[in-house]
Chains A and B, each alone.
Chain A
Amino acid sequence: MSSLLRNNWLWSLLAFVLGAAITWVLLDRRVPAGPPEPAAVEEEQVEEKEPVLIGAGAAEAEAEVAPEPVFSRLMAPGRPEELTLFDTDSDTTATEPQVHDDVPPGRYGVGSADAVPHQGPPDGFTIKGNAQSMLFHTPDSPYYGRTKPEVWFRSEADAERAGFTKYARRPRKSANPGNTAG
Chain B
Amino acid sequence: MPDPEDCHLAQLVNEPIPVEKYTRWLGEPGCGAVLLFCGNVRDTNRGQSVVRIDYHAHESMARKQLTRITASLVEAGAHRALAIHRLGTLEVGETSILLGVSLAHRRDGFGLLEQGMERVKADVPIWKHEQYQDGTVAWIEGS
Whether A and B are associated in the same complex: the answer reads no
Identify the A interface with B (CB < 8 A). Answer: none
Identify the B interface with A (CB < 8 A). Answer: none
